[in-house]
Amino acid sequence: MTAASPSTEKRRGRPKRDPQTAEARQKLIRTGLIHLTERGYSSVGVDEILKASGVPKGSFYHYFQNKADYGSQLIDAYNDYFIGRLDEAFSDEDLTPLNQFSAFTEGAIERMAHHGFRRGCLVGNLGQEMGALPEDYRAKLIDVLSQWETHSADCLSRAQAQEEIPKTKDPKALASFFWIGWEGAVLRAKLERSPKPLTDFTETFFTMLTA
C-alpha cells in the first residue's frame, strides 16, 4: 500500500496517513518506552531516541511538538498498553477474580524478568522524577494510577462478591494500597535486579486480602 498522491489527497479534501510516517511514530513510541522505563526521562535526550529508533528528526517533529509533548504521548501509550494487560488478566473466565489478580502480578514479574529487571514502570519512574518534569505530567500520572486502581478495585469487588475476600474489606482502599506497594516493589526489583521484592510484596498482599 502506498501513500495517496498529492492531487488525490487534495481532491478528497483529507490526506491519507502515510504508512511510513505512521511506522516512524510507532518506532519512536517503542524506543521511548524502552529508554524511559530503563533510564528515566531526564537522562534521555531526543537525539538519543532518534539514533536508537533510526527515525529522522523531521519525523519526530511531525508527531511531537517537543520532548515534553513526546513524554506526554508516551504516558498515554504506556497507559493504553497497561490497561490492556489488566483487562486481559481480569477477563479470564477460567480463573476466579482473586486468581485473575494473582495472574496479573505473575505475568508482570515474568515480563520484568524477561528484560533482566532493567525496565521498571514508566509511571513510577516519572513519578520519581516529578520535580524535574513538566508540571502538567503530575495530573496525568495521577489519573493513570487512578485508572489502574479502578480496574483493580472492580476485580477485587468481584472477588468479594464470590466470597474470596471478607466483606469487611474495602476494595477501593485495597486497590490503592496495592498500587502504592507494587510501584515501590517494582523500583526495588529494578534496583536489586531480582524478583524478590515483587514476590515478597504480592505474597503479603494476598495474605492480607484473605486474613
Residue-range domain boundaries for the chain: 72-210
| Nearest of 50, 44, 84 to residue 64 by alpha carbon | 50
- Could you list the pLDDT tens digit for every one of the 211 residues in the chain? 333 434 434 444 433 445 456 789 999 999 999 999 999 999 999 999 999 999 998 889 999 999 999 999 999 999 999 999 999 999 999 999 999 999 999 999 999 999 999 999 999 999 999 999 999 999 999 999 999 999 999 999 999 999 999 999 999 999 999 999 999 999 999 999 999 999 999 999 999 998 8
**Model's pTM, two decimal places?**
0.86
Contact 195, 117 (CB under 8 A): yes
C-alpha cell at 193: 535486579
Contact 159, 77 (CB under 8 A): no
Contact 54, 98 (CB under 8 A): no
C-alpha cell at 154: 472492580
Q: What is residue 142's three-state secondary structure?
A: helix
147: left (phi over 0), alpha (psi -120 to 50) or beta: alpha
Residues 92-103 pLDDT 10s: 999 999 999 999
Angle of helix 67-90 relative to helix 97-114, nearest 10 degrees?
Answer: 130
Find cell 517537543 and name the residue. 66
C-alpha cell at 20: 511510513
DSSP 107: H
Helix, strand and coil in the chain, % to nearest 5: 75, 0, 25
Does the domain at 72-210 match CATH 3.30.420.40? Answer given as no
